[in-house]
Amino acid sequence: MSFKEQLIHLRNTNGLSQEDLAEKLNVTRQSVSKWEVGETMPDTDKLIKISEIFNVSTDFLLKNIDNVSNSKSKISVALSKEVNETIENINKMSKSKRYIIGLIFIGIIFIIIIFLINIVK
């Protein structure tokens, strides 16, 4: 796949509009549109930022890749999407709910530590 095809695929897979991606990259929607039709290419800083947003390598964005790498990337994109959705859901929660969830996680970590200490003894 070419860069423009990779960008369209990743953006759509992650449920982002051109406007959403443009906002994350601090560029105009028209810039994203030009990248996707192949009129222009983003500069190096933007390529790196795109790779970070979609959790893929710059090689993945710029080069044709084999099916094995493509499968790994699809898994990575799917996981990235799930993580982003989870973070968004947490951010939508009220402060008290986030506090309670935080306490639950701390409790779970504490129980795991005690369990591991007992195993080591």
- 35-75, pLDDT tens digit by residue? 999 999 999 999 999 999 998 888 888 886 543 455 556 66
DSSP string, 39-78: S----HHHHHHHHHHHT--HHHHHS---HHHHHHHHHHHH
Q: What is the pTM of this model?
A: 0.53
SS3 content of the chain, % helix, strand, coil (to 5): 80, 0, 20
pLDDT at res. 66: 41
Hunting for tokens 């005690």 — which residue is that?
114
Contacts of residue 38, Cβ cutoff 8 Å, sequence gap at least 6: 2, 4
In terms of residues, how long is the chain?
121
How far is 96 from 107, CA to CA, in rounded Å? 16
- 4-35, pLDDT tens digit by residue? 988 999 999 999 999 999 999 999 999 999 99
